[in-house]
Amino acid sequence: MSVTRLGYMHARVTDLAEAKRHYCDTLGLRITLEEPGKLYLKAWDEFDHHSVVLEEGGVGMVKMGYKVETDEDLSTYENAAREFGCVTERMTKGENPEVGDGVRIVLPSGHLLELYSQMTCIGTDVGIHNPEVFPRHLVGVGVPRVDHCLLTTSDVQTTERFFIEALGFYPTERLQTTLEDDAHLIGTWLSTSNTVHDIAFIEGPDNKLHHWAFELGDWSAIGRAGSIFAMDDVSVDVGPTQHGITRGGTIYFFDPAGNRNEVFSGGYVAYRDRPAVTWTVDDLAKGIFYVQREVNERFTSVLT
Ligand SMILES: [Fe+2]
């Protein structure tokens, strides 16, 4: 039993046509369903129907979906969330197009999480029979898949405890004031798989999105993404650079509505018995941006 991964990020955008140019022409996602005021999109190496939902009107995150293995997991996590003190409700098949029954949980951070076990599988762009290693006609950056998100919470400690105790995640890296036992927890990077993080939280206002990320294969893909961003006049926040925390290669950038996205590559392979790395706030800048060792004001203040 486990939560497997970030399945979808559902965000608001101010203008759907602009968003379409960004997510489809620049990043290379493909539209799998259009509804009035809404787009459903997937990346080329994802099997399920969609991994990004864009809704016209405003900016910021509406909700996120994490996929679990079985229907039975839904009741298990529903009970665990209730015992933790979270508000939950059942969602039924079709409430989200192509998504099965699920459980909706209001996190201690105020964000809305949907757990589900079924989404219509439409397959990757290369299939599963003698597949090519990538599709020949990738568009723009050609991101293969959605990877993780970073959200803010006024209580990192409780939010982390919820993900560990109720959902079975484990921390790979933590940011705290000091190394003392009574140190204040400022950030946590949590995995539910072998990726270095499937979700992360840093201290800030509740129910806000810092960014969500798309995976890229390696450093050279990050560099190439930077070139595409220049060609398409994408607003770049930071990068290309590397994180100390997670060791990933990165570029942070904004969609036309102002939601921050990331392309992320590498990081180490995580596993449950790997002791969590501890960062102290005196070396925060190196943890976030390992090469420059400085964090711009925008990076910590712009949330949606
Ligand atoms: Fe990230």
262 a catalytic residue: yes
Task: State in Å: Cα 2 to ligand 1 middle.
Answer: 22
Euclidean distance between CA atoms 275 and 170, whole angstroms:
10
Euclidean distance between CA atoms 239 and 37, whole angstroms:
32
Sign of the alpha-carbon torsion through 52, 54, 60, 64: negative
- SS3 of residue 254 by DSSP: strand
pLDDT tens by residue, the chain, 304 residues? 789 999 999 999 999 999 999 999 999 999 999 999 999 999 999 999 999 999 999 999 999 999 999 999 999 999 999 999 999 999 999 999 999 999 999 999 999 999 999 999 999 999 999 999 999 999 999 999 999 999 999 999 999 999 999 999 999 999 999 999 899 999 999 999 999 999 999 999 999 999 999 999 999 999 999 999 999 999 999 999 999 999 999 999 999 999 999 999 999 999 999 999 999 999 999 999 999 998 888 888 899 9
Would you state the pLDDT for residue 27?
98
Euclidean distance between CA atoms 191 and 169, whole angstroms:
5
Euclidean distance between CA atoms 2 and 168, whole angstroms:
7
Q: What are phi and psi of 109, to 5 degrees?
A: -85, -5
Would you state the pLDDT for residue 226?
98
Active-site choice (148, 160, 173, 210) = 148
Would you state the pLDDT for residue 241?
95
What residue has token string 């803010």? 152
Q: CA dihedral defined by 236, 240, 241, 247, rounded to 10 degrees?
A: 100
148 a catalytic residue: yes
- SS3 of residue 247 by DSSP: coil
Would you state the pLDDT for residue 300?
84
- SS3 sequence of 155-189: CHHHHHHHHHHCCCCEEEEEEECCCCCCCCEEEEE
117: which DSSP letter? S
Would you state the pLDDT for residue 160?
98
What tokens does 199 get?
A: 């979700």
How far from the centroid of its chain's Cα atoms is residue 70's Cα? 22
Active-site choice (46, 160, 173, 262) = 262
Beta bridge partners of residue 209, listed in sequence order: 151
The strand ranges marked E within the chain are 3-13, 30-35, 38-42, 52-56, 60-68, 88-91, 102-106, 112-116, 145-153, 170-176, 185-191, 199-203, 208-216, 235-242, 248-254, 260-266, 277-280
What tokens does 281 get?
A: 């706030």
Task: State in Å: Cα 260 to ligand 1 middle.
Answer: 10
Contacts of 138 (CB under 8 A, 6+ apart): 28, 44
28: which DSSP letter? -
294 a catalytic residue: no
How far from the centroid of its chain's Cα atoms is residue 270's Cα? 17
| Percentages of the chain per state (helix, strand, coil), in multiples of 5 | 20, 40, 40
Active-site choice (8, 66, 116, 252) = 252
Active-site choice (10, 50, 111, 197) = 197
Euclidean distance between CA atoms 13 and 35, whole angstroms:
14
Task: State in Å: Cα 211 to ligand 1 middle.
Answer: 7
Task: State in Å: Cα 175 to ligand 1 middle.
Answer: 15
129 a catalytic residue: no
Asked if 185 and 160 count as a contact pair (C-beta separation under 8 A), the reply is: yes
Would you state the pLDDT for residue 181?
85
